[in-house]
Chain A
Amino acid sequence: MKIPYSIIKNFVPSLKYSPEELAELISLKSYEVNSVYNPADGLKNVVVGHIQEISPHPNADKLNIVKVLVDNNEILTIICGAKNIELGQKVAVARIGAILPNGVNIQAANLRGQDSFGMICSAQELGFDSKMEGVLILPNNSVVGTPLADALGINESIIDIDNKGLGTRASDSSSFYGVAREIALITNSKLEPLELSQLPVNKKLKKNIQIKTNLCNYYSILEVSGLSNYKFDSNVLSKGTYRVDLYVQTDVFQLDSKIHSTLDIIDQKSYYPAVDLGNYILFETGQPLHIFDAEKVKGKDIIIREAKKGEIFIDLNGVEIILEKGDIVICDSENIIALAGIIGSASTAVGDGTTQILVESANFDHKRIRETARRLKLLTESAKRFERQIPVELVDIATQRLINMVEKSGLQVLGYVNKGNNKSDHKSITLDYNYIRKYIGVDISDRDIDIFLKNLQIEMYRPLGSHKHNVVSPYWRLDLNTQEEYVEEIARLYGYDNIPANLNINVNKITSDLTFNFQRKISEELAKIGYTEVLTYPYSNFGVLKLINPVDESKPYLRQSLAESMISVINKNSDNFNILKLFEVSNVFTSEQKLHLSLSYFNRDQDNNQNINQAYNDLLKLIAQLGFDHTQFITEMMEDTIILKYADNVIGSISNSLVIELDIAILSSILIPATETYTPIPKYPSVKRDITLTVNNKISAKEVYNKISGLVSKRCQYIGLKDRFRNNNLINYTFRLEFRDAEKSLLDSEVNTEIEKIQKHFQDTK
């Protein structure tokens, strides 16, 4: 919601704050502010110029040399290629030094041998959303030398309030007057009343309003005449348009120019003056009005009812809308003439030649409007306000405001008729001041709370000697229904900055989620031993759970495994790194959600087997490091994949010999602590022997190791490879073996027997 600063000043004349200060204050006390800006900032050094002379460029057919008066006695020579320039026109001239909204920096230039000192601008070049061809032609009464922003009436600060997400407070913050009232409240200033005229209750309009649904509680119609033949150039602009482009004929029904410049400045598109007036009142009061061409509304009846399924309605943009049962519609004696609170019909829309209008002001059920508008994706300014609930009291206020402005424009009110209940139901609630103090955490006095409530125009009744009060909110505050909602009012007026920070809290026992803690430990340990954590997207081209609205159409599923992502991370990064040690912890989704860890070791100089061994090694070390029994891990071949088990539970797998993936939620729940009891220190010494075995060099150390371990007795407690030496097609492995008996000192002969057994075996097989 954009609000010009001057409008605020009109309603709160004593305001002492600059636009920026005011915006800051609003954001601290009331609502979020998106920005404060002045459209003129983008139009510096652009002024009104008067074309004095046009002569053809000697060296270019399509260019002219134009002399433009830009000040009392300053004439600029500008080379211009526009076709629509004529002698005597008022135009927008960007002087040297201007930086246009499209980024063009205006400098002195030489075009085919002729000097040029500025630019005559088109609407687009000035940042206006315009389809108009050629340069922007300004009204003849524009004053030469005036900055363009002033000439257009758009040199002023705008405060843009964010009310997208607001709840019921939205209706209160979606109008100039509502915001002005809020500003008066937070600055302790006087608020000027809206200028209203009496409802013409004695000029009875001959229309028969029939409300046939309880989704409309109040409906009124005002008839106005005196508009005359008026033409609108629809070939021109959309949003952000400036009125000067629009009106072909402006001599008949003149709106206050302030109304148009205000609509311009808040980026509201202009149409016919009657429609613009209705829009202006919507922004000013927060109450949407709908304007019908009176002569196009058939018969005496105005019927408000719920639509039947399949009824058809053509909206004023010419779009055919198929209605659902329950959509609220307005009908004349023959047709549906509006989709209530959302959009009018093409058949009754104001157009060229409209002289008499019917102005609808009414209140509709916000939930139903919301459903309809959202289903049809028709979030018009009107629908946006209705869907957030508007107090019914605004219906008459908007009509009275319109009459006031119509009278000033020389139009006549012909008649008026209304039906229904124009008072909203505000229940009284009980406020306990002690509860409010406890909630805020500050000892605000009864008197201060009383003052805040009074400033909010809240009616109060307090039984003598009680801390409890009965309160009723003013009609414009539909959001004050609970004590906590009053807490907010009192706290913000007291000032959030004035509430002291209080860290006087009890000691509390911590019982954090075990899986999360395990995830943290694993991640930290992996980082310590050189692994880098990666985060990858959860989307996949296959899976079980499918996204109804995927962000990437080629990956509409939620991934079931992390391996696929990990492999692509390795492929993506392997050019930059010789060694990659990576892990990811993330949820994956089968029919349910599972927390997985993926782990990969990639060394381009090693084969897959060595790499995966390394990763597996690290995993086991990690588990041991965390104090758990790593020997419970085993791997098994199952069909084509290697599965990983811990204590007989399947907890993961190894993919493509590259990625180990396991379910760490399950793992953390079955981990067995490592034994923490001591094994007695051996009483008897060990005997160490080195043994060198010569084998065919195709035989790996591992195979030799396996063989040795199968041959020796339990007394052999350690076998380690000490050396290897290759000799043509043979290889010598030297292993160190360590023997020990828990019960006695080993005899040399006993060890010799074991060693001989090994030597014999390898001699036999050589």
Chain B
Amino acid sequence: MISIESVKNEYKNDIKNSLDIDKIESKYLSRKGYIAQLFKSIKDMSDDKKSKYGQQLNKLKEDIENYIVKNKLSKDIQDNIEINPVNSVDISNQLGSLSPISRLIFKIQDIFAELGFSVAIGPELESEKYNFDLLNIPDNHPARDVWDTMWVQSPDGIKSLLRTHTSPVQIRYMENHKPPIRIIAPGKVYRYEATDATHETVFHQVEGLFLDEQASIATFKGVIEYFFKELFKQDIKIRLRPSYFPFTEPSFEIDIRIDNKWLEIAGAGMVNRKVLENGGIKDKNIQGFAFGFGVERLAMIIYKIDDIRLIHSADIRFASQLGKIKL
């Protein structure tokens, strides 16, 4: 025997369990539903009971109706996939497309995968410790000038920064993994600077780290040469030039030969012992290299994009163009 109380409890339970909105409707409000059944029993009651009972029942009915109206919209959205097999979804003929950046990063992932590199990622919101200190760039060091930093303040006053390069991932990965290590770390980086055709405040880098007992400058040349040959699908020439980064020793600039010109394309070097130690690797037999390059810069060369600002312009006339481009 059902009562207002028992129906109310069951209804509450059904809501809690997110019972399908249509089921709730038919269960309670249909012609044979609980509410209708409860209304039927009203005719056997005494008049004073009747009015109180009626009020309570009407209140419950209203509650249920309100709930159903409120939830109809979300239900409509949800139902479409199951109930509409005749009006099949119109998949437009227009091809979608990845951004040139994603396209390139995925391609880079695949090439490095052939050499046994995994993908690691790290936070964009970083601490000074990981972005600078542990990478052997102490406070006040002139090398910090190279990275114009965007600083961030949280409501509780804690100061952090948006990483200026993907190199902090090196440390974070070393802290949690033992060598041999072979990773690339793609992601966004941020610089506080004026934008122009070749400078952006947000852009992407791919970091690489390779550590084992054998990895030498010669290995680095092997890996990076393989990568650029695969990426450009031609027998591309590369060269190393001496450079300086606090987190590598020795440090190199990498040039590639394109259209009879040398183009500076990446920075690299043998990972500085201090950085290995900061990452928890104290074994002197472990050595290796790290490298990093700007994805936008590569994309601009490969896709012949003349203004870096187009990448973030969200102009679909630009974004949708690359749909059919294959590397």
| Cβ of B11 under 8 Å from chain A | no
Given contacts A440-B216, A580-B316, contact A636 B18 (CB under 8 A): yes
Q: How far is the CB of A292 from chain B (nearest CB, A)?
A: 28
| Cβ of A61 under 8 Å from chain B | no
Contacts of A586 in B (CB 8 A): 188
A513 near B121 with CB under 8 A, answer yes
User: Which B232-261 residues have C-beta < 8 A from chain A?
Assistant: 239-246, 249-253
B26 near A710 with CB under 8 A, answer yes
A164-B142, A488-B251 known; 18 new pairs, CB 8 Å cut-off, are A28-B242, A32-B243, A438-B216, A491-B217, A503-B222, A512-B109, A529-B96, A544-B155, A548-B151, A581-B94, A587-B188, A591-B154, A609-B76, A609-B77, A617-B80, A634-B18, A637-B71, A642-B74
A contact residues, total (Cβ < 8 Å): 121
Contacts of B249 in A (CB 8 A): 482, 484-485, 487-488
Closest 9 CB pairs of A and B: A441-B216, A441-B218, A508-B116, A488-B250, A503-B222, A710-B26, A635-B74, A548-B151, A496-B240
| Cβ of A558 under 8 Å from chain B | yes
Q: How far is the CB of A634 from chain B (nearest CB, A)?
A: 6
Given contacts A370-B140, A617-B89, contact A441 B79 (CB under 8 A): no
User: Which B158-180 residues have C-beta < 8 A from chain A?
Assistant: 159, 162, 180
| Cβ of A499 under 8 Å from chain B | yes
Q: How far is the CB of B261 from chain A (nearest CB, A)?
A: 13
Contacts of B241 in A (CB 8 A): 27-28, 32, 496
| Cβ of A201 under 8 Å from chain B | no
Contacts of A722 in B (CB 8 A): 86
Contacts of B25 in A (CB 8 A): 706, 710
Binding site for A on B (CB under 8 A): 18, 22-23, 25-26, 30, 70-71, 73-81, 83-87, 89-92, 94-99, 101-102, 106, 109, 113, 115-121, 123-125, 140, 142-143, 145-146, 150-155, 159, 162, 180, 182, 186, 188, 192-193, 195, 201-202, 212, 214-219, 221-223, 225-226, 239-246, 249-253, 270, 272-273, 287, 311-312, 314-317, 319-320, 323
B202 is contacted by which of A488, A532, A537 (Cβ under 8 Å)?
A: A537
Given contacts A438-B216, A512-B119, contact A484 B270 (CB under 8 A): yes
B221 near A501 with CB under 8 A, answer yes
| Cβ of A720 under 8 Å from chain B | yes
A535 near B314 with CB under 8 A, answer yes
B91 near A529 with CB under 8 A, answer yes
A533 near B99 with CB under 8 A, answer yes
A169 near B250 with CB under 8 A, answer no
A524 near B71 with CB under 8 A, answer no
| Cβ of A463 under 8 Å from chain B | no
| Cβ of A517 under 8 Å from chain B | yes
Contacts of A547 in B (CB 8 A): 150-153
A528 near B96 with CB under 8 A, answer yes
CA–CA, A737 and B287, complex, Å: 69
B89 near A621 with CB under 8 A, answer yes
Q: Which residue of B lies closest to A576 (CB)?
A: B317
Binding site for B on A (CB under 8 A): 27-32, 164-167, 169-170, 367, 370-371, 374, 387-388, 438-442, 482, 484-485, 487-488, 491-492, 496-497, 499-513, 515-517, 520, 523-524, 526-538, 544-551, 558, 565, 568-569, 572-573, 576-577, 579-582, 585-587, 589, 591-593, 609, 612-614, 616-618, 620-621, 630, 633-637, 642, 654, 702, 705-706, 709-710, 718-722, 736
- The secondary-structure label for the interface of chain A is mixed
Contacts of B242 in A (CB 8 A): 28-32, 488, 492, 496
Q: Which residue of B lies closest to A515 (CB)?
A: B121
Contacts of A517 in B (CB 8 A): 119
Q: Which residue of A lies closest to B30 (CB)?
A: A710
A499 near B78 with CB under 8 A, answer no
CA–CA, A507 and B180, complex, Å: 11
CA–CA, A506 and B179, complex, Å: 13
Q: Which residue of B lies closest to A552 (CB)?
A: B201
B123 near A593 with CB under 8 A, answer yes
Given contacts A516-B121, A551-B192, A637-B74, contact A530 B92 (CB under 8 A): yes
A569 near B314 with CB under 8 A, answer yes
A367 near B70 with CB under 8 A, answer no
Would you mind naming 12 contact pairs between A and B with Cβ atoms under 8 Å apart? A32-B253, A440-B218, A505-B214, A516-B186, A535-B314, A549-B151, A551-B195, A558-B125, A569-B316, A573-B315, A634-B78, A702-B83
Contacts of A702 in B (CB 8 A): 76, 79, 83
CA–CA, A705 and B85, complex, Å: 12
Given contacts A440-B216, A501-B225, contact A374 B319 (CB under 8 A): no
Q: How far is the CB of A173 from chain B (nearest CB, A)?
A: 10
Given contacts A167-B143, A439-B270, contact A589 B223 (CB under 8 A): no
